[in-house]
Amino acid sequence: MKIALVSDNGTTISRHFGRARQYVVVTVEDGNEVARELRSKEDCHSHGHDHDHDHDHSHSDPRHDAILDAIRDCQVVIAGGMGAGMDQRLRSAGINAIRTQIPSIEIAIEKYLKGQLSDMVELVH
């Protein structure tokens, strides 16, 4: 199994899926981490206009396909939050999304592997 964690720095979980710069991809076998890698992630918000305002990307937004390409081999994504369009796109791709307020990638992985990481659906915006 592969778990992708959305990050800007490789150590903490990004608060917003669409703005994060990379994925930390953890490979798990028999309940233990056996490999870890950093993968580049396209920023779906870097398309030339200000995003300080609130809005929803449609689940048909083509940028969502591009930012999922790097993690199509993953079964789970852990993020600090995401838009409703990305949530739908992940589900359509068969990737289980877990939203959390835990900032540490290490702690989130540990809790996930112990079955103690709950999905905070209220972090879908």
Q: Running along the chain, 125 residues long, what does each successive block of 10 average in pLDDT?
A: 97 94 97 96 54 42 77 97 93 96 98 96 94
In the prediction, which pLDDT does 42 show? 74
Total residue count of the chain as it appears in this document: 125
CA dist., res. 18 & res. 74, Å (int)? 17
Q: Are 110 and 37 in contact (CB under 8 A)?
A: no
> What is the reported pLDDT for 107?
98
Task: Output the pLDDT for position 66.
Answer: 78
The structure tokens 């870890």 sit at 36
- Order of strands, sheet of 76-79, starting from the edge strand that comes earlier in the sequence: 32-40, 22-29, 2-7, 76-79, 96-99
pLDDT at 63 (0 to 100): 67
Which pLDDT belongs to residue 56? 43
Q: Which residue has the tokens 């852990």?
A: 78
Question: What is the H or E stretch that residue 69 is in?
Answer: none
Asked if 72 and 94 touch (Cβ cutoff 8 Å), the reply is: no
- Helices within the chain (DSSP H only): 62-68, 84-92, 105-113
pLDDT of the residue at 109: 97
Phi, psi (degrees; rounded to nearest 5) at 107: -65, -40
